[in-house]
C-alpha cells in the first residue's frame, strides 16, 4: 500500500510573501520605537491570508483521498506542535529559576490549560496579560490559526458544494465586522475592545480560503471574483471613512473595516503572484534571501519575541539612558540572534520532523501495526 501524497501546487513567490510577512512582524515587535516599523503588524494578517489559501487549497485537493482528516491533522501536528510545545516546556522548566520571570511564571502557570489547548487569544481576553513584554503575547495568532485548522477541515468535509463554503465564509466575514462594530458601540476604543479583536481577526483566513475555493473551481473566473471582492470591501471602507470625517466623527472606520480591507489587499497581491510573474515580482518575492526567510518564518515567529524580551529584561534595564542608538543596537542583536536560532532549528530539527509527514500517514501506521501483529502478513508482503 503506497503512502498518501498531498496533491498541491507549489507557488515559489508565496515563500517570498511569507518572508515579507515575518519581516513585518520582526520590524513591528523589535523596532517599534521607529516610526515606519509600527505598521509591520499587518504581517500577521498576511500570514492569515497565506494560511487560509494554502490550507484550503490542500484540503480541496485531498478531500476525496482515504483518511483525509487524519492525514491532514497529522501533518499540522508535526508542523506546529514540536516548536510550540517545546517552547512551553522550556519556559515552565526555566522560568521558576529566574527571578525576573516570577510574575510571568505566576500568570502563565495559573492559566496553563489555555496555553496547552491553544486558547491564548481567549486567555488575553478573559485575563489581560501583565504587560507588553510577556513572552507568549504573540501566540494569540497561533491560537487563531490552530482553531481554524481544527474546524475548517470538518466544514469542508461535510460541504459538497463550493457555493455553500463561499456563503459560510461571507457570513464569517460579515459576523467579524458586525462584532467589531458592536463591541465598539458598547466598550469604545479601549484596551478591552482591542483584545476582543483577537476573536475577529479571521478576515485574512476567510479571504485566503475564498481565493483557494474560486481557483479550485475556475482559475480564469477567480481573478474577476477577487477583484470584485476587493472593490466591494475597499468601497465599504471608503464610505465609512467619509462618514467618520463628515457625519459621525466618532466612527472608528479602521477598527470596523480595516482588517477586512487589509486582508482583501493582500488577497489581491497573492492572487496576482499566482497568476503571473514579471521581473519585478521575481526580484521581490523569489529572491533567495526572502524565500529563505519565508521557509524559517515559523521558527522566527516562535523565537523572536522571547529573545527580544530577554534582551529587554537583562540588557536594556542595565542601560541607564536608553537612547535611539542603544535601542537600535539591542533590537538588531535580538533580531540577528532570533534569525540564527531559527536557521539552526529549521535545519537540525524542523526539517527532520517535517520529513516524517510522508511517513506518518494512517495507511503507513496501520501497515506497520499489521506487520507487528501478524508476521505472516509481513513475510507475504516481502515476497
Convert the pLDDT of each residue in 177-193 to its tens digit. 999 999 888 887 776 67
Contact 169, 210 (CB under 8 A): yes
Whether 305 is covered by a domain: the verdict is: yes
pLDDT of residue 37: 78
In a domain, 250, yes or no: no
Quick count: other Cβ atoms within 10 Å of Cβ 194?
15
Grid look-up 502478513 returns 377
26 vs 201: which has the higher pLDDT: 26
**CA-based nearest residue to 24, from 9, 41, 12:** 41
Q: Would you say residue 238 lies in a domain? A: no
Write out the residue range of the structural domain in which residue 41 sits.
1-97+129-141+276-383
C-alpha span between 118 and 79 (Å, rounded): 14
pLDDT at 16: 93
Nearest to 146 by CA among 197, 99, 79, 206: 79
Q: Is 267 helix (H, G, I), strand (E, B) or coil?
A: helix
Residue reference for cell 510550540: 84
Ranked by mean pLDDT, the top range of 125-129, 130-134, 213-217, 276-280 is 213-217
The DSSP result for 186-207, as a single string, is: HHTTSHHHHHHGGGTTTHHHHH
Q: Identify whether 169 is part of a domain.
A: no
Confidence of residue 33 (pLDDT cuts 50, 70, 90): confident
Q: How many domains does the chain have?
A: 1
> Would 83 be classed as within a structural domain?
yes
Q: How far apart are CA 86 and CA 303, in angstroms?
A: 11
- Cα(311)–Cα(135) distance, integer angstroms: 12
Q: Is residue 149 part of a domain?
A: no
Percent of the chain with pLDDT over 70: 87
Average pLDDT score over the chain: 86
Is 383's pLDDT higher than 50? no
Do 42 and 313 meet the contact criterion of CB atoms below 8 Å apart?
A: no
CA–CA separation, 154 and 149 (whole Å): 9
In a domain, 301, yes or no: yes
- Quote the distance between the C-alpha of residue 224 and its chain's center: 26
More confident residue, 305 or 328: 305
29 has a pLDDT exceeding 50: yes
Compute the distance between CA of residue 304 and CA of residue 343 in angstroms, rounded to an integer: 12
Name the packing angle between helices 68-94 and 42-62 (round to 10°): 150
pLDDT tens digits, 195-205: 777 778 899 99
Identify the pLDDT of residue 276: 81
38 is a domain residue: yes
* Model pLDDT, residue 241: 93
d(CA 120, CA 122): 5
Distance CA 115, CA 121 (A): 9
Amino acid at each position: 500500500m503506497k503512502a498518501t501524497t498531498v496533491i498541491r501546487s507549489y507557488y515559489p513567490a508565496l515563500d517570498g510573501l511569507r518572508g515579507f510577512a515575518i519581516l513585518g512582524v520582526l520590524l513591528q515587535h523589535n523596532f517599534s520605537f521607529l516610526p515606519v516599523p509600527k505598521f509591520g503588524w499587518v504581517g500577521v494578517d498576511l500570514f492569515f491570508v497565506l494560511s487560509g489559501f494554502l490550507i484550503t487549497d490542500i484540503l480541496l485537493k485531498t478531500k476525496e483521498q482515504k483518511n483525509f482528516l487524519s492525514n491532514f491533522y497529522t501533518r499540522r501536528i508535526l508542523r506546529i506542535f514540536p516548536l510550540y510545545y517545546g517552547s512551553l516546556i522550556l519556559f515552565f522548566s526555566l522560568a521558576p529559576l529566574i527571578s525576573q520571570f516570577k510574575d510571568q511564571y505566576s500568570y502563565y502557570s495559573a492559566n496553563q490549560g489555555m496555553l496547552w489547548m491553544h486558547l491564548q487569544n481567549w486567555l488575553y481576553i478573559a485575563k489581560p496579560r501583565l504587560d507588553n513584554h510577556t513572552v507568549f503575547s504573540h501566540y494569540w495568532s497561533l491560537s487563531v490559526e490552530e482553531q481554524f485548522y481544527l474546524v475548517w477541515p470538518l466544514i469542508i468535509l461535510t460541504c459538497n458544494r463550493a457555493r455553500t463554503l463561499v456563503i459560510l465564509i461571507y457570513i464569517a466575514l460579515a459576523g467579524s465586522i458586525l462584532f467589531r462594530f458592536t463591541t465598539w458601540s458598547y466598550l469604545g476604543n479601549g484596551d478591552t475592545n482591542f483584545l476582543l479583536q483577537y476573536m475577529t481577526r479571521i478576515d485574512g483566513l476567510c479571504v485566503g480560503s475564498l481565493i483557494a475555493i474560486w481557483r479550485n473551481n475556475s482559475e480564469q473566473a477567480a481573478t474577476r471574483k477577487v477583484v470584485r471582492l476587493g472593490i466591494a470591501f475597499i468601497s465599504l471602507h471608503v464610505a465609512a471613512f467619509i462618514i467618520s470625517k463628515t457625519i459621525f466623527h466618532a466612527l472608528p472606520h479602521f477598527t470596523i473595516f480595516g482588517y477586512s480591507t487589509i486582508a482583501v489587499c493582500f488577497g489581491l497581491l497573492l492572487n496576482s503572484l499566482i497568476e503571473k510573474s514579471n521581473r519585478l515580482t521575481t526580484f521581490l518575492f523569489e529572491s533567495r534571501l526572502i524565500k529563505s526567510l519565508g521557509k524559517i518564518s515559523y521558527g522566527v515567529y516562535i523565537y523572536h519575541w522571547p529573545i527580544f524580551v530577554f534582551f529587554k529584561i537583562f540588557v536594556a534595564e542595565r542601560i541607564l539612558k536608553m537612547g535611539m542608538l542603544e535601542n537600535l543596537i539591542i533590537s538588531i542583536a535580538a533580531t540577528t540572534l532570533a534569525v540564527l536560532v531559527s536557521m539552526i532549528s529549521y535545519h537540525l530539527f524542523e526539517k527532520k520532523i517535517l520529513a516524517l509527514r510522508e511517513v506518518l500517514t494512517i495507511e503507513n501506521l496501520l501497515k506497520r501495526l499489521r506487520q507487528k501483529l501478524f508476521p505472516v502478513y509481513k513475510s507475504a508482503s516481502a515476497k
